[in-house]
Amino acid sequence: MNECGVVQDLLPLYADGAASEDTVKFLSRHLANCPVCRNAYRSVKREAEAAVPHITMEPEDRRFLEIRDRIRRKRTLSLIAFGAVAASAAYFALTDLIRSEQKNRKDA
């Protein structure tokens, strides 16, 4: 079995950090001793980084985003509630106006 072929098949998993612990150990040992696979790994790593930029978020940043999303949800719910109240008020005002017009016509 060609060890370099197996290693190069596993390099994308290794570059993405998705390889198992045993695979990482095996690949690390092999890459330390094989310049061909090391160059292949660098190439795979560059392609992976170019395809998906790494965004590292600090816990404070994640917390900020969670709070921002919660505020947006509350604001949206508040606007919906305000809209419902405004629509109800408009409905009752128009209903009252129509009734009073009808009453004025009857009285006239």
For 105, which DSSP code?
H
Contact 16, 52 (CB under 8 A): no
The reported pLDDT for the residue numbered 30 is 93
Q: List pLDDT tens digits, range 81-96.
A: 999 999 999 999 999 9
The reported pLDDT for the residue numbered 55 is 63
Q: Is 60 helix (H, G, I), strand (E, B) or coil?
A: helix
The reported pLDDT for the residue numbered 46 is 86
Q: List pLDDT tens digits, range 21-52.
A: 999 999 999 999 999 999 999 999 888 777 76
Q: List pLDDT tens digits, range 44-94.
A: 988 877 776 656 777 788 888 899 999 999 999 999 999 999 999 999 999
The reported pLDDT for the residue numbered 52 is 63
The reported pLDDT for the residue numbered 54 is 58
- Kindly provide the residue ranges of all beta strands, DSSP E only, lying in 11-105, ordered along the sequence: none
Q: What is the pTM of this model?
A: 0.46
Contact 34, 7 (CB under 8 A): yes
Interatomic CA distance for residues 93 and 99, integer angstroms: 10
